[in-house]
Chain A
Amino acid sequence: MLETILERFNYIPIIILMMTGLYVVIATGNLIKRLVGLSLFQTSVFLLYITIGKVFGGQPPILESAHHGEDDGYGSAGGYGAEAAAGYAGAGDAEHAEEAAHGGYEAAASHGEGYGDAAHHTAEVLYSNPLPHVLILTAIVVGVATLAVGLALVVRIREAYGTIEDDALNAADYSRETGSSE
């Protein structure tokens, strides 16, 4: 049991961050603090993605021999799959080997073009999966945009109500609602 947990040590801080963030969103009544919690929650997901991309013993995914004939990436992509699977297993990482066994090889096949090429020339180099990083760059932009819109809304709320505490906001709306109905 302990071993299983320790083998997946990379997920522990992610889970802690994720739960902290979600808890802050739910528990606090302050609109700014809620956004802080939300950011924390989102950031933990960035970490989750990045940790998927890590291959033990893997190099940064940089093409060493960038120029080479007119090879078509597809042909070699499948081959790379097998190599990658072997590579994972060779690196002694149980989790990734397992992953490779049930579909990990598809990863290589499906993320084809660039990889295929790379695999063809630098098949002996084991490298980390760059795709999660690319995805997370997009997600970070989304996160920043969300935070910006959220903060802008808080500014407007503060202008309109004079407070950013949830309880006070509800009280203000409630008194207005009951006031206007009479």
Chain B
Amino acid sequence: MEFLANLLPAGLMAHAPALVVVVPLVAAAIAAFMPNGKAGWAVAMVTATIVAVFSLALLGAVAGEGVISYAMGGWEPPAGIEYRIDALNIAVLLLVGILGFLCVIYALPSVADEIAEDKQGLFYSAFLVCFAGLLGVTITGDAFNVFVFLEISSLSTYTIIAMGAGKDRRALTAAYNYLILGTIGATFFVIGVGFLYMATGSLNMADIARILAENGHDRVTQAAFAFIIVGLGLKAAMFPLHMWLPNAYAFAPNFVTAFLASTATKVAFYALVRFLFSVFNPEVNFVDLSLTWVFAVAGVIAMFMASAQAIFQTDARRLLAYSSVAQVGYMMLGLGMGTVLGLQAGMLHLINHALMKGALFMALGAFALKFGVREIKDLAGLGRTMPISASAFTIAGLSLVGVPLTIGFDSKWYLIIAALDRGWWWAVAALILSSLLALIYIGRLLMVVWTDTAPSHQGQQVKRTHAPIMMLIPMGILAFANLYFFLDASFLVNLTEAAANAVMGD
């Protein structure tokens, strides 16, 4: 992968870690002044392309150098803010960069359909702020900076979710509830960072880890740990803290749901991994205990509870939202094992889940664009009327269940291997049983899509139609990725293996 490092000239490359965040932020200001949606979209598209190229180049650089440390403004860490990219966050950065890019392609027809013309420029502006925030959380090595970027992304997320109000006013209450819970989460996180600062006198994450290793963990660090886990857990929709997610996903504009489902919770989850494994030490007693008794246990409960709730939903997007909560449970279980294998499996599932849910929500968005459907019963016959989108939907859906030939099988395979390695037989049973639940809710969707006949309109069958090409391309790429990475999993497996080793190795 080293050749990727030569993607950019050396001068740009030297500042790539900063530019990845700065470019979307500046572009957000530009997009706000764009007169119409097309111009706003063009700004977002150019930005997302730049970010995707930067993240690829950084992937190459990390493969070559190991860890990239960038001193913001020339202030050397630990005093200054450090942007630090290692094998763990390059995987997430790449995920956000590439999926952001694909989602923006998708945005043009979707946003034109759902958002009022005069608000589209501002909409893209808010989206770019959110994008910058997510990239910032991923890339920064400074604990307080994580808080700032989390809030940058969250605040703009509240607004773009509320933009769904054009179609359904419940988007407003969903956004409001998310704002309340998200802010409580962020405040918990910042309390935790405050305690860490009290105990160590440092805000640089690598520095905090070093000081904690030297001085040991006292009660202040334990309190910090608890606050940080709860705060980030809220943002990542970890099981008992997921209440904001179903409505937010169900009523946001389709593009926003696709984007958030594949990036936002993933980034929060990454931050959680960073604090659990990199700042705190999983070998320390209280961290280890919380991994087993909080993460693994809550993860397993999530796998069952949220899947069961998904089965009884009538709204297609809310069904997938509950399924997202369940899938976060799988990742939590992976982390909870507290082994390199478990962490790798969790990270692999994180990436795979982004690929699946991205495709699923994009397909639902395509259905909504053509026929305005949201309820599951209205999906009837779409297999015949919109065969390409329905195929992408099916592939990603089967991947979610974990059917062989899809990447969902890969991540479950790795989770099971990790569980066996840890000696957790019950976890293997839980994984298989909850996959059956996933089969029920996905099967229910697919049955309606493929076997029910399309409703007739004024005595005539609905004609076969296709989503706009701008929607089909990203959807197709994601569906293809769901298949391709099963055949050749080495890229993702190497990426996540390096990620797990970066924080837990030796």
Contact = CB atoms under 8 A, between A and B. Distances in A.
A107 B203 CA distance: 9
Nearest to A164: B176
Contact of B218 (A34, A49, A102, A146): A102
B34 to A, nearest CB: 21
A113 B79 contact: yes
Contacts of B263: none
B190 A139 contact: yes
Nearest to B158: A149
A135 B204 CA distance: 13
B1 interface: no
Name, among A34, A35, A110, A113, the residue most crowded by chain B CB atoms within 10 Å (CB to CB): A110
Contacts of A25: 180, 184
A31 B176 contact: yes
B38 interface: no
Nearest to A42: B187
B159 interface: yes
A153 B162 contact: yes
A45 B187 contact: yes
Interface string A108-151: 10111100000000000000000010010011001001100110
Contact of B173 (A102, A108, A146, A169): A169
Contact of B179 (A108, A149, A173): A149
A113 B207 contact: no
A18 to B, nearest CB: 8
A55 interface: no
A106 B201 contact: yes
Contacts of B199: 99, 102-103
A160 B191 contact: no
Nearest to B216: A102
Contacts of A181: 314
Contacts of A132: 194, 197
A156 B165 contact: yes
Contact of B190 (A45, A150, A157): A45
A86 interface: no
B486 interface: no
B173 A173 contact: yes
A57 interface: no
A82 interface: no
A110 B198 contact: no
B148 interface: yes
A51 to B, nearest CB: 10
Contact of A42 (B175, B183, B202, B214): B183
Given A42-B183, A49-B194, A142-B151, A156 B211 contact: no
Nearest to A113: B79
Contacts of B79: 110-113
B290 interface: no
A91 interface: no
B201 A104 contact: yes
B205 to A, nearest CB: 12
A154 interface: yes
A89 interface: no
Given A42-B183, A153-B176, A110 B148 contact: no
A97 interface: no
A23 interface: no
B162 A156 contact: yes
Given A45-B187, A112-B78, 18 more contacts: A22-B184, A41-B184, A45-B190, A99-B198, A103-B201, A103-B215, A105-B201, A110-B79, A110-B202, A110-B204, A132-B194, A145-B155, A146-B183, A149-B158, A153-B162, A153-B172, A154-B176, A156-B162
- Shortest 10 CB-CB contacts between residues of A and residues of B: A107-B201, A112-B79, A160-B169, A110-B78, A110-B202, A142-B151, A106-B201, A153-B176, A157-B172, A102-B215
16 contacts: A31-B176, A42-B183, A45-B187, A49-B194, A106-B201, A107-B202, A110-B78, A110-B201, A111-B79, A112-B78, A139-B190, A146-B179, A146-B183, A149-B179, A169-B173, A173-B173
